[in-house]
């Protein structure tokens, strides 16, 4: 967290005001006060500019507050389990129009059958009901005294039948020539690998399965990963023989493929996405099996590098009027050169792009390899079908601990010690790649939004979105990923702000297990401790793209072990409804936090720059800058963090978000 605004230093940060405790003992975390339904109208804070209209009827809402921003009231249901969808009983299968009896005739009634009496004389004169058949008549007239006649006739019939069968076999096309095998067709034609032959299985659905082309391009790499698409097309079920590029790839490689609708759909069906896409080409990290399948569909696959690490890789697009490529040569080692694009490996990250951008080049960071497939959102339960209180126990203290330790080690010599995420050091981009893959593994659609610092470094914000059925509103959770310290190379930033990042990841993981009404964006901003540069770039971009952001919870330094259950919220009059919602959640579910809801311009964090762009936002913290002896020092370590305090802060924000997007 940065220092307070120097222009308001005279006022200073206000002393956090604690909410008065209600009589009685503290309740268990996550339990409503009365054990039943919650009336949130009773929990309006007198110290916060009232936002009770958020929970009142529409007629009581002030005119300046749009109806769309009303927060749904979270209540505890009698049954916490999700309601089961109604099951439509299977329609009984219609019987065939004709049973075998209909085809063969009904069995004659026993009363109509004649007794089997050899001496009985049939009405037709003993001819067995055969009428005037000459052969039968001849037999009846000559059978007297010739007992051998019947066997002789039977033998003659057998010989005649065998003769007919022989003649048909010999002259009717059934000779010694084998029956021809039905012609087969390749599953996927390929000019670079042998065709895979075999009769394709019959389609299970005569209608084509629609697939969505991943949103990619430039630095806004919004490639979507969908296991639903990857399982829908039977055409890709059988891998083909390895092509030339697949055979040259040891485990995972960087390859270039055409950037067309067909290739993008194919990648989506294969459960992967590009690391960068621009104009006619896209670059992706893929296994030999994936490369082989792409080769079968399109021969224009190029092996760029057998190393799958993208940490130091950038895409450089030349301006139309470029005269010399010297600036690109100096920038780094060129791995691929096609049209106006170069894939360049730099010596260090974040890369200094000042010379390139000033010359008109566009530089973008390649995203890391895909993290793997995830459950299709359509198969998940609806968040609206559960009791919000049941989400609290899903927050994992182990996950939070692991994330804090992983982040504090970024950039360390052995990857496990004390490192730094300072904006100009390699650990910063390592952390960004780490968070990109984490969010993707939770079912979010993830992309980088880059910006250039005043000293010319290309930094990235990491943005992930959990899908929602109604995209008219989007809610956000924010945390800065960078650190600072007196010695920048030793800047672990466990509390400031690995705790906020860990809380945001857990919120993404839990909500990613449900179908949401409104999308949720998880935003990891960069260079907060060096001028709030990332939040400023993100907010301006969101406004320029007319993204309907309704509110953002900025989580920053929530792991203090010194101040007990104190939580500080800071916003302004327009965002007071968010603070009020958290107060109600805290009281209704008995978290027992002593929450101070402020509206101070002297407290400066990422949410200030978000509000400056007209997006309503509040900060959630435990210790402000200057209060903690660890912040911005080499001692901001995981052992000085209270994980239980991080867990509770995560739970309160999680339930507030759930109330908004269920």
HSE-CB at 484 with a 13 A cutoff on CA atoms is 13
Which residue did the predictor score with more confidence, 447 or 150?
447
Q: Give the model's pLDDT for residue 142.
A: 61
Q: Quote the pLDDT of residue 504.
A: 98
- Name which of 500, 568, 559, 562 is nearest 529 in CA terms: 500
**Rounded to whole angstroms, how far apart are CA atoms 404 and 515?**
28
Peptide bond into 350 cis (omega under 30): yes
What number is the average pLDDT over the span 350-369?
Answer: 96
Name the band, by pLDDT with cuts 50, 70 and 90, for residue 241.
low
Query: What is the Cα–Cα distance from 232 to 222, expressed in whole angstroms?
Result: 22
CA 522 – CA 462 distance, rounded (Å): 8
> Which ranges in 204-301 belong to alpha helices (H)?
227-230, 244-248, 261-269, 288-297
**Shortest CA distance to 364 belongs to which of 217, 163, 568?**
217
> Over 70: is that where the pLDDT of 454 sits?
yes
User: In which region does residue 302 sit, left (phi positive, over 0), alpha (psi from -120 to 50) or beta (all else)?
Assistant: beta
- Look at 13-17, 294-298, 603-607 and tell me which has the smallest mean pLDDT: 13-17
Q: Look at residue 473 and tell me whether its pLDDT is greater than 60.
A: yes
Q: What's the pLDDT score for residue 321?
A: 86
Distance CA 401, CA 172 (A): 81
pLDDT bracket for residue 371 (50, 70, 90): confident
Task: Kindly tell me if the per-residue pLDDT of 208 is higher than 60.
Answer: no
User: Among 116-130, 250-264, 297-311, 451-465, where is mean pLDDT lowest?
Assistant: 116-130
Q: Are strands 341-345 and 333-338 parallel, antiparallel or unpaired?
A: antiparallel
DSSP at 57 = -
Cis check for the bond before 633: say yes or no (omega within 30 of 0).
Answer: no
Residue 147 pLDDT: 64
Q: So what's the pLDDT on residue 427?
A: 98
Q: Determine the average pLDDT of the residues in 290-311.
A: 95
Could you tell me the pLDDT band of residue 641, with boundaries at 50, 70 and 90? very high
Alpha helices in 85-126 (DSSP H): 100-104
**Residue 558 reports pLDDT greater than 50:** yes
Helix (H, G, I), strand (E, B) or coil at 587: helix
Percent of the chain with pLDDT over 70: 65
For residue 172, the model assigns a pLDDT of 53
pLDDT at 367 over 80: yes
In percent, the amount of the chain with pLDDT more than 90 equals 59
- Give me the pLDDT at residue 141, please: 58
Question: Between the CA atoms of 610, 611, 615 and 620, what dihedral angle is there, to the nearest 10 degrees?
Answer: 70
Neighbouring CB atoms inside 10 A of 240's CB total 22
Judge whether residue 326 has pLDDT over 80.
Answer: yes
Strands 302-305 and 594-598 come out as unpaired
The per-residue pLDDT for 568 is 98
pLDDT (tens digit per residue) in 48-70: 333 333 333 333 433 343 333 44
15 has a pLDDT exceeding 70:
no
Q: Are 485 and 491 contacting, i.e. CB atoms less than 8 angstroms apart?
A: yes
519-547 pLDDT, tens digit per residue, is 999 999 999 999 999 999 999 999 999 99
Q: Rounded mean pLDDT of 413-434?
A: 96
**pLDDT tens per residue, range 100-157:** 223 333 333 433 333 334 444 344 444 333 444 555 555 555 655 566 666 777 777 7
Which domains are assigned to the chain?
227-365 (no CATH), 378-661 (3.40.630.10)
């Amino acid at each position: 967290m940065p220092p307070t605004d120097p222009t308001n230093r005279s006022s200073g940060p206000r002393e956090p005001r604690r909410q008065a405790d209600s009589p009685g003992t503290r309740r268990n975390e996550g339990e409503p006060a009365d054990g039943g339904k919650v009336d949130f109208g009773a929990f309006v804070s007198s110290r916060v500019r009232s936002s009770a209209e958020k929970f009142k009827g529409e007629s009581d809402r002030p005119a300046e507050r749009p109806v769309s921003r009303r927060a749904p009231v979270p209540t505890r249901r009698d049954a916490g389990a999700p309601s089961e969808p109604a099951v439509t009983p299977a329609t009984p299968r219609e019987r065939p129009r004709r049973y075998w009896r209909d085809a063969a005739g009904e069995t004659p009634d026993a009363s109509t059958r004649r007794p089997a009496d050899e001496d009985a004389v049939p009405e037709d004169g003993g001819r067995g009901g055969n009428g005037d058949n000459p052969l039968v008549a001849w037999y009846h007239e000559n059978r007297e005294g010739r007992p051998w006649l019947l066997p002789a006739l039977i033998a003659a019939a057998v010989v005649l039948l065998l003769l007919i069968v022989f003649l048909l076999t010999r002259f009717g096309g059934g000779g010694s020539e084998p029956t021809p095998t039905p012609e087969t067709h390749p599953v996927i034609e390929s000019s670079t690998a042998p065709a895979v032959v075999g009769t394709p299985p019959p389609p299970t659905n005569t209608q084509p399965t629609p697939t969505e082309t991943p949103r990619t391009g430039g630095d806004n790499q919004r490639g979507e990963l969908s296991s639903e698409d990857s399982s829908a097309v039977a055409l890709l079920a059988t891998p083909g023989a390895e092509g030339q590029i697949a055979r040259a790839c040891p485990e995972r490689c960087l390859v270039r493929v055409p950037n067309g609708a067909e290739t993008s759909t194919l990648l989506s069906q294969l459960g992967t996405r590009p690391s960068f896409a621009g104009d006619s080409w896209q670059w992706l990290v893929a296994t030999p099996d994936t490369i082989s399948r792409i080769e079968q569909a399109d021969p224009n696959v190029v092996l760029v590098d057998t190393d799958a690490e993208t940490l130091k890789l950038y895409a450089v697009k030349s301006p139309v009027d470029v005269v010399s490529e010297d600036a690109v040569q100096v920038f780094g080692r060129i791995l691929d050169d096609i049209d106006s694009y170069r894939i360049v490996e730099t010596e260090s990250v974040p890369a200094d792009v000042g010379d390139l951008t000033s010359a008109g080049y566009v530089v973008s960071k390649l995203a890391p390899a895909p993290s793997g497939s995830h459950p299709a959102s359509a198969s998940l339960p609806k968040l609206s079908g559960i009791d919000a209180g049941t989400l609290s126990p899903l927050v994992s203290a182990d996950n939070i601990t692991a994330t804090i330790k992983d982040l504090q080690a970024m950039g360390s010599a052995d990857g496990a010690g004390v490192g730094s995420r300072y904006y100009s050091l390699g650990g910063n981009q390592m952390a960004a790649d780490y968070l990109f893959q984490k969010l993707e593994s939770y079912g979010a659609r993830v992309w980088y939004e880059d910006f250039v610092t005043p000293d010319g470094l290309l930094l990235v914000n990491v943005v992930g979105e959990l899908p929602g059925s109604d995209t008219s509103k989007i809610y956000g959770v924010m945390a800065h990923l960078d650190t600072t310290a007196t010695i920048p190379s030793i800047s672990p930033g466990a509390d400031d702000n690995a705790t906020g990042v860990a809380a945001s990841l857990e919120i993404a993981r839990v909500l990613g297990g449900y179908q949401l009404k409104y999308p949720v964006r998880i935003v990891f901003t960069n260079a907060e401790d060096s001028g709030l540069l990332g939040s400023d770039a993100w907010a301006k971009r969101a406004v320029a793209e007319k993204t309907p952001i309704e509110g953002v919870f900025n989580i920053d330094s929530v792991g203090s072990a010194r101040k007990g259950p104190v939580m500080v919220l800071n916003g302004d009059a327009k965002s007071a409804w968010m603070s009020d919602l958290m107060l109600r959640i805290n009281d209704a579910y008995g978290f027992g936090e002593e929450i101070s809801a402020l509206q101070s311009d002297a407290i400066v964090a990422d949410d200030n720059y978000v509000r400056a762009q007209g997006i309503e936002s509040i900060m959630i913290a435990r210790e402000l800058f200057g209060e903690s002896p660890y912040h911005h020092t080499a001692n901001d370590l995981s052992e000085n963090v209270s994980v239980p305090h991080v867990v509770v802060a995560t739970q309160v924000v999680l339930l507030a978000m759930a109330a908004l997007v269920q």
